[in-house]
Amino acid sequence: TSLEHSRYVTERIHHLVTAFSQRANRVKAQITQPPTPSTELSEGGDDANKAPDPRQRLDSLMDDVSSRSPSLPRLVGINTRHAWLLRLLYSCRKTLSFPQAMEPQSRLYISWLLVVCIVYVYNAWVIPLRSVFTEYQTDNNLGYWLAADYLADLVYVLDVAVFKSRVMYLDNGFWINVPSLMRRHYWKTPNFRYELASLLPLDLLYFKFGPISVFRLPRLIKIHTFWEFFHRLDSVLSSPHAIRVIRTVLYMLFLIHLNTCAYYGFSKIEGIGSNKWVFQGVGNAYIRCFYFATKTATSIGKNPKPEKEGEYLFMTCSWLMGVFVFALLIGQIRDIVATATHNQNEYRNVMDQTQAYLHRLNLPASLQERVRLWFTYTWQNQKTLNEMKCLESLPRKMRTDIAISVHIQILSKVQLFQDCDKALLRDLVLKLQPVLYLPGDFVCKKGEVGKEMYIVQAGQVLVMGGERGDVVLATLGEGSVFGEISLLALAGGNRRTANVRSRGFSSLFVLSKADLQATIKDYPEAQEILQKKAKRLIKQNQAREKMELTPDENIIIKSRETTPKLLHTVLQ
C-alpha cells in the first residue's frame, strides 16, 4: 500500500507540473500575441540588401589595401609595412579636397562668409581708429599691424579667387555648377567690380607718405559681403532673431565708433584741452571719447557746452544723427522682438479666451485644469497649437514631400497597406492628423464603433482588458499601429475589441475612415486588396480571442467547496 500511495503521489505531482506548464504556455502565447496583427514594425528593412555605393567602395579600397590584400602594395612596389603611409596620404587628400561648386546656402560657404565678415569688421574698426588715434600705431607695433592688414588682404584675395567664383547660381530654374560658367557669371556681376575696387593697392603709397591707414579705406567697399553673410545666415537658421539683434547692435556700435573718431579728430584740430568741450587729454583717449560719443548719440547725460561755431555744428550733426539712427535701430529691435514673440502672444490669447469661456460655462475645475495642461504641453513641444496650419501656405507637392518624409516609413509597414500602390500611400499621408492625449485619456473604448486608425508617434498607450478593464494586455510604443481593421466597413470589424488608454503624454496620428474612403475610391485594385486583407485580419483576431483563457483553465488546484452549515453542525 505504501508503494501504491507513493506512485499515486508521484503521478499527481507530474500531472500538476504538466498542467502548470501548459497554462504558462497558453498565457505566454496570449501575451505575445499583439492586440492587432500589425502593431509591431519589422526591424531592419531593405537597407541590408542594398548594394554598396560605388563611391563607398572606392573610398574603402585604400583602407583594405593591406588588411584584405597584403600582396597589392607589393605589386605596386610598396612594402606592406609602409602601406599605412599610403592610407594616410589618401585620407589627407580626401580631407583637403575642395569642392568645385558650392551651394549659396551650404555650411562651407556660410562659414567662409563668417571669416570674411570678421575681417571686414576688423578693417571697418581699425582703419578709422589708426587714422585718427595715431598714438595707437607706433614704430614698435607697426609690424604687427601690417601683418594683420596683409592677412586680411589675403582673405579678400581668396574670397575673390577661390570662393566667390565657385558659387552656383540659378539660370532658368536650373542650378549651374559648371566651373567655367560660374566664373563667367561671377565676373559679370557688380559685386566682382566692388571686390576689385576693395583690393586697390593704395598701400604702395606707404613708400612715399609712410604707413598711413587712410590709404586702406577702399577695403570698406566690401560691405556687400557683410550684408550677404547676415542674409544667408538669416535664411538658414530656424530662429534668426538673435542674429538680427547682433547685426543691429553692430551697426549702433560702429556709428558710435565713427562719432568717437570724429570727436577726437575735431579735438586735435581745435587743440587738446583748449576749452572744456574738446578732449582734455586725461585718461585713455579712445575710452573717454567713446563715452562722450555715446552720450551725444543717445542724448543722455550732460556734455560740456560748445564754445565755437564749429563745435556747435558738430554737436548739431551728432544729435541729428543720433535721433535718426537710434530711432531706426529701436524700431528694428521692436520689430525683431515682436516677430520673435508673435506665436507666443497668439498662444496666450487663445489660451486666455478658452479658459474664460470654460469658466463662464461653470465646468469642473479638474476639466479646466486638463485643458490648461493640454495648452501648456502642446506649446512647449510644438511652439504652435496647430502644426498643420504652418504648412498651409506651401504648395501641395511640397506638403506631400514633407508628409512622406515623416510618415511614409510607418504607413508602408502597416500590414493592412502592404503591397498597396505607392501612389495610394502618398495620398494617404496627407490625411494623417496629429492628436495629443493626456495621461489617462482613453484613445478608444471597447465596443465603440471604430472610425479611425491610430499610429503612435511618441509616448506609450496601454491596451486594457479583463472583466473590469484594468488588466494591461499590451503596451504600444513609438511606431505601433492599432485600429486599422475599423477603417473598412466589414461585418465584425467595426467594433473596438479593447480599451486603449494613454500612459503619459502621447502623440498619435489619426487616419479616419472618411478620409480613407475618399482616397481609395480612385484605386479599385487597392480596394480589393484591402478587403481581402481585412477579412484575413479579422479571422486572425477571432482565432486570437478563442485563445483567451477562461477562469476554469487558469485554476490548476481548485479550492475546496464550502462545507454545508447543517453538516458542520451535525459533526460538531
List CB contacts of 41: < 8 A, sequence separation 6 or more.
410, 413, 479, 480
Domain ranges of the chain: 98-236, 239-385, 397-549
Question: What's the CATH number of domain 239-385, 1.10.10.10, 1.10.287.70, 1.10.760.10, 3.90.50.10?
Answer: 1.10.287.70
Tens digit of pLDDT for each residue in 340-393? Answer: 777 778 878 888 888 888 888 888 888 888 888 888 877 777 666 666 666 667
List CB contacts of 53: < 8 A, sequence separation 6 or more.
none
Name which of 128, 160, 143, 150 is nearest 204 in CA terms: 150
What is the distance between the alpha carbons of residues 443 and 463, in angstroms, rounded to a whole number?
10
Say whether pLDDT at 258 is over 50. Answer: yes
What is the distance between the alpha carbons of residues 262 and 318, in angstroms, rounded to a whole number?
10
Name which of 491, 435, 444 is nearest 469 in CA terms: 444
pLDDT score for 1? 61
Question: What's the CATH number of domain 397-549, 1.10.3450.40, 3.20.20.140, 2.60.40.10, 2.60.120.10?
Answer: 2.60.120.10
pLDDT score for 97? 64
Question: Letter for the amino acid at 518?
Answer: A
- Please give the grid coordinates belonging to residue 103: 551651394
pLDDT score for 38? 44
Q: Among 237-246, 308-317, 478-487, whose mean pLDDT is lowest? A: 478-487
What is the distance between the alpha carbons of residues 537 and 547, in angstroms, rounded to a whole number?
15
Task: Classify 283 as helix, strand or coil.
Answer: coil
pLDDT classification of 425: cutoffs 50, 70, 90? confident
Query: Looking at per-residue confidence, does 547 or 122 come out higher?
Result: 122
Name which of 119, 103, 110 is nearest 177 in CA terms: 103
pLDDT classification of 421: cutoffs 50, 70, 90? confident
Tens digit of pLDDT for each residue in 465-516? Answer: 777 777 888 888 877 778 777 776 555 456 777 788 888 888 888 888 888 8
CA distances from 499 to 69, 437, 551 (A): 61, 14, 21
Say whether pLDDT at 103 is over 70. Answer: yes
pLDDT classification of 148: cutoffs 50, 70, 90? very high
pLDDT classification of 199: cutoffs 50, 70, 90? very high
In 430-549, alpha helices (H): 513-520, 524-546
- Per the listing, cell 483553465 goes with 553
What is the distance between the alpha carbons of residues 223 and 247, in angstroms, rounded to a whole number?
13
